[in-house]
Structure formats: C-alpha cells, structure tokens
C-alpha cells in the first residue's frame, strides 16, 4: 500500500483538463473523413469502398455525402481517393443534437470541384429544462443494447484518473430510477428492444438519451434487419448523437455536455 502511495505521489496529476483545454488526440489518431476543400469531384471514391454504406453519390450525381453517423473511421475512402480528395480529420467534437447534422454534403461547382453544402439548422436547446433542474450534476444509466463492447470500454475509461468524468459532476449509476438519463451503446437488437424501452420509462423526467458510437447513431455496419431495430433513435428520442467507432473519451464527454446544454455544437 505504501509503495502504491509513493508511486502515485511521484507520478503527480495525470488528469486532463478537457473541456477547459482543447483535446489532444495522439499522432496515430484516425478521425472522421472529410472532403478536402476544392477537391475534384471525380477524384472522390465511389460508395462501394465504404463497408458500412456511409457514402452516397459520386460521379454524375448532384451531390456527394459522407454520413459520419454510419462511418467506421476505417480510412478506406481516404485510401481510395485520388490526390488526397478525402482526408482524415483530427477533430473529436463531432456530436450533434440532430441525426441529419452528422451528414456532410458537397456538390460540384462549375469547375467540377467540391463545394460544401450548408447543413441543417443547429439543434434547439432542448436541454434547457434539464439544465435548470439538474444544474451541473448528471447521473447516467449505461445501457448496452447490443454493442461489440468497444464503446463500452471507452465509457469505462471516463472513470479512470486520466479523464475522471466525475470532476464534471457526471457519474454512472446502477438503476435507471436513480438516473437522469440513459447513455446507450450498440444498435438496438430486437431481443433487447423491450428492455431499452422499459429502462427509459423507468428514468424520472426530465431525462436525456445519449447515443454513443456509430452503431447507436445509425445501426452501424449491421444496419436494420430482422435482428436489429437500427439506431437508438428508432426506439427512443435521442438528445445527442456521438459518432465514432468507437469515439474517444473526450468525444463522449463533449456529447454528454452537449446533451445537457453545457456546450454548443462545434461541427465544421
């Protein structure tokens, strides 16, 4: 015990200062794909390169879109693009209140180069009542509705000394009756759909719903089928979508704060 205590004192403070300071992803971090400004439309890869169906459009089409809610961040689109038409970004603050805000669209101009199309209006501050009621405290019930556990590990990381999400007044509880909302990972499998609904109903109002990861945002690579209802929004009213496969802990922190109105959307 004494050895562990001495080691901790020598190590010092390891907790990051996010969100007071910008997130610092490692050099090897592979973020969401984005179309390079003024890229030639014909240099963009076809939808067939994407294993999750996140790309729509292409040569001869009026628009080209990348759905970050379905994206696996595998990087295949960047590898298949010509002259670096698609690049992988480093931004982690990609959460949105509306599902359609995760879709990034471009269209060709007169010269055949990509021009960004305006996205939908920013989501309204639906969390105003929650912020007035809960202040800076938020208790969440984690609900795994059929994930591969990658997003679950990132949620677990929020509780370690590096991220220490409790310093922000955020914690996880065992019972939905003690929670202010649910944070859901994975697509909603048919076997768990009823459990998801009942867990949500057990949370006292006002309550929030946060979808973590590409599967929770859209159904992910499994999509919607006889075995899966798709994304969480197919079953529950979602207040914040956090894209990624899986999203970094900082991205999850940002999405949680967005859900309760403590930060605003920062998508490019």
pLDDT tens-digit series, residues 3-34: 877 776 777 788 999 999 999 898 889 899 99
Residue 234 confidence (pLDDT): 95
Residue 261 confidence (pLDDT): 84
Residue 2 confidence (pLDDT): 77
- Euclidean distance between CA atoms 53 and 32, whole angstroms: 15
Read off the pTM: 0.91
* Burial grade of 237 (CB within 10 A; 0-12, 13-18, 19 or more): exposed
What DSSP state is assigned to residue 179?
-
CB 108 within 8 A of CB 63: no
Spatial CB neighbours of 108, under 8 Å, sequence gap ≥ 6: 41, 114, 115
Residue 58 confidence (pLDDT): 73
Residue 53 confidence (pLDDT): 92
Spatial CB neighbours of 79, under 8 Å, sequence gap ≥ 6: none
Ranges of each domain in the chain: 33-116, 128-259
Q: What kind and span of H or E run contains 67?
A: strand 64-67
pLDDT in tens, the chain (268 residues): 778 777 767 777 889 999 999 998 988 898 999 999 889 988 999 999 999 999 998 767 788 999 999 999 999 999 999 888 999 999 999 999 999 999 999 998 888 888 888 877 765 555 556 666 666 789 999 999 999 999 999 999 999 999 999 999 999 999 999 999 999 999 999 999 999 999 999 999 889 999 999 999 999 888 889 999 999 999 999 999 999 999 999 999 999 999 988 888 886 6
Q: What kind and span of H or E run contains 108?
A: strand 103-108
Residue 126 confidence (pLDDT): 53
- Please state which architecture CATH assigns to domain 128-259: 3-Layer(aba) Sandwich (3.40)
Residue 244 confidence (pLDDT): 94
- Cα distances from 151 to residues 106, 125, 129, 186, in angstroms, run 29, 26, 28, 8
Residue 178 confidence (pLDDT): 94
CATH of 33-116, one of 3.30.70.3270, 3.40.50.720, 3.40.1130.10, 3.30.2400.10: 3.30.70.3270
């Amino acid at each position: 015990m004494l050895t562990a205590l001495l080691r901790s004192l020598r190590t010092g403070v390891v907790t990051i200062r996010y969100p007071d300071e910008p997130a610092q992803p490692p050099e090897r971090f592979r973020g969401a794909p984005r179309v390079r400004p003024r890229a030639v439309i014909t240099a963009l890869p076809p939808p067939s390169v994407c294993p999750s169906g996140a790309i729509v459009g292409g040569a001869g089409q009026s628009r080209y879109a990348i759905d970050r809610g379905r994206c696996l961040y595998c990087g295949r689109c960047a590898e298949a693009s010509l002259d670096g038409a698609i690049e992988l970004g480093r931004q982690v603050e990609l959460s949105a209140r509306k599902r359609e805000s995760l879709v990034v669209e471009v269209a060709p101009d007169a010269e055949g180069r990509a021009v960004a199309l305006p996205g939908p209006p920013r989501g309204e501050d639906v969390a105003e009542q929650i912020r007035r009621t809960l202040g800076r405290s938020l208790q969440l019930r984690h609900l795994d509705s059929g994930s591969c556990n990658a997003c679950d590990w990132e949620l677990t990381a929020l509780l370690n000394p590096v991220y220490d999400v409790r310093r922000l007044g955020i914690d996880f509880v065992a019972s939905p009756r003690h929670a202010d909302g649910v944070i859901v990972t994975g697509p909603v499998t048919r076997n768990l759909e009823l459990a998801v609904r009942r867990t949500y109903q057990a949370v006292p109002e006002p309550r929030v719903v946060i979808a973590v990861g590409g599967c929770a945002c859209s159904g992910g690579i499994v999509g919607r089928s006889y075995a899966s209802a798709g994304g969480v929004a197919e079953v529950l009213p979602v207040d914040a979508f956090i894209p990624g496969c899986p999203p970094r802990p900082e991205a999850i922190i940002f999405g949680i704060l967005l859900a309760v109105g403590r930060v605003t959307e920062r998508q490019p």
